[in-house]
Amino acid sequence: MTTVDTSVAPAVTVIASPVRRRRRTGPAGWLFVAGYTVLLVAFGIFPTVYAFYLALTNDRGQFTGLNQFVKVAQDYRFLPAFLNIALYLVMWLVALVVLTVAVAVVLRGRIRPGLSAIFRFLYYVPGALAGVASVLVWLFMLDPGVSPASGLLHALGFDSFAAVLAPGDLPVIFVLIAFWTGAGGWMVVMYGALNNIPDEVLEAARMDGAGPWRTAWNIQIPMIRKWIAYMTILAFAAGTQLFVEPQLLQTASLGRVSPTWSPNQLAYVYAFQKGDFNGAAAISVFLLALGLICAGVLVSRSDLFTVDDEA
C-alpha cells in the first residue's frame, strides 16, 4: 500500500492561498459608495455642467462661444479681484504649510503625549466656529475701540477700525482669519500623518546621529509630502472661493472694503445685482480652471496618487 506524505500540504495551501485570493465587492460597499455618488452628481457634477452651459450661452439660451468669458475678462474689476486673491493665496498657503507642519513636528517629537493632546484640542477649537461667527469675532478683535488687543493695534499705528481696513492690509487680515479658523484642523491631520512613520525609521536616524531638526527635514517631512500636497490642494481650492470674510468686512466698514474684492464677490454682483447669471457662471469657470490647473501641478509633482510599495 502506497502512502502519501501530506505534511507539507498545509504549508503549500497557506503560501498559495494569497495568490488565488481575489477581492470581492459586496453589497455593503456599493451601498456606501452609492450615497456619495448621488450627492456628488447632484451637488458637484450637475452644477458644474450647468455652469459651463450658462457660460457658453446668453440669457436666451443661444450659444455664444467664449463671449461671456471675454466680457467678464474685460471688466475693469476682473483683474484686480484675481490679483487680490492671488496675493492672499500665496500668503495663506505659505503660512499654512510652514506653520502647520512645523507645529505638528514639534508636537509629535518634542512635547509629551498628554500635553500634546491638550494643545491639539486647543488648536482645533477655533475651527469648530462657523465662518460667519469667526469673522464676527475678528471684527471685534480688529476694532481698536473695543478690542482686548487695542494696545497692540495702537502701537502698530491703527487708531480706528477704518485704518485697520486699509486696502493694502486686507490680504493679511484675511490670512489671519483663515489661519485662525482652519490651521488647527490641519495640524491634527499632519500630526496623524507623522504618527504613521514607523518608530524604527526614526530610531535609525537617531542612531546615525541625526538631530531633531535634521530628522524632521530629511525624514519626517519627505515621508508626509503626500499629506502636505493634499492639504495644499484643498486649502487652495477653499482660498479661491473667498467670499464671507470680505463681504462681511465690506458691510461692517460701510463700504470701505470693495464689494468686488474677490472673484466670488464679483460673480455675486453679476448674478444678484446685475441679473447676469451667464457672466457669473463664466467667472466660476475661470476659478474652476485655475483650481484644476494648480491641483494637477501639485498632484504630478508630489505623486499624490502613487501607491507606495509594500514590504
pLDDT in tens, 134-179: 778 888 888 888 888 888 888 888 888 888 888 888 999 999 888 8
Selected residue with higher pLDDT from 119 and 307: 119
Contacts of 188 (CB under 8 A, 6+ apart): 120, 123, 124
Contact 67, 293 (CB under 8 A): no
The whole-number pLDDT of residue 307 equals: 66
Mean pLDDT, the chain, whole residue set:
84
Does 62 fall in a domain? Answer: no
Task: Please give the Cα distance from 272 to 267 (Å, whole number).
Answer: 9
- Model confidence pLDDT, tens digit, residues 216-239: 888 899 999 989 999 999 999 989
* Res 10: pLDDT: 43
In a domain, 42, yes or no: no
Note down the domain range covering 164: 81-302
* Angle (CA) 213 214 215, round 5°: 90
Give dist(CA 179, CA 101) in Å, integer: 13
Residue-level pLDDT at 262: 94
pLDDT in tens, 38-91: 999 999 999 999 999 999 999 888 999 999 999 999 999 999 999 999 999 999
Number of domains in the chain: 1
Q: Is residue 311 in some structural domain?
A: no
Q: Give the pLDDT band of residue 92 (cuts 50, 70, 90).
A: very high
Classify residue 184: in a domain, yes or no: yes
Please enumerate, as own/partner, the contacts of 257-264 that have beta carbons within 8 Å and a separation of 24 or more. 257/165, 257/167, 257/170, 258/80, 258/167, 260/77, 260/80, 260/81, 261/81, 261/84, 261/170, 262/81, 262/84, 262/85, 262/88, 263/78, 263/81, 263/82, 263/85, 263/287, 264/240
Q: Give me the pLDDT at residue 130, please.
A: 63
- Asked if the structure places residue 130 within a domain, the reply is yes
Position 16 in a domain: no
pLDDT of residue 215: 86
Q: Assign residue 154 the CATH number of its domain.
A: 1.10.3720.10
* Band of residue 16 on the pLDDT scale cut at 50, 70, 90: very low
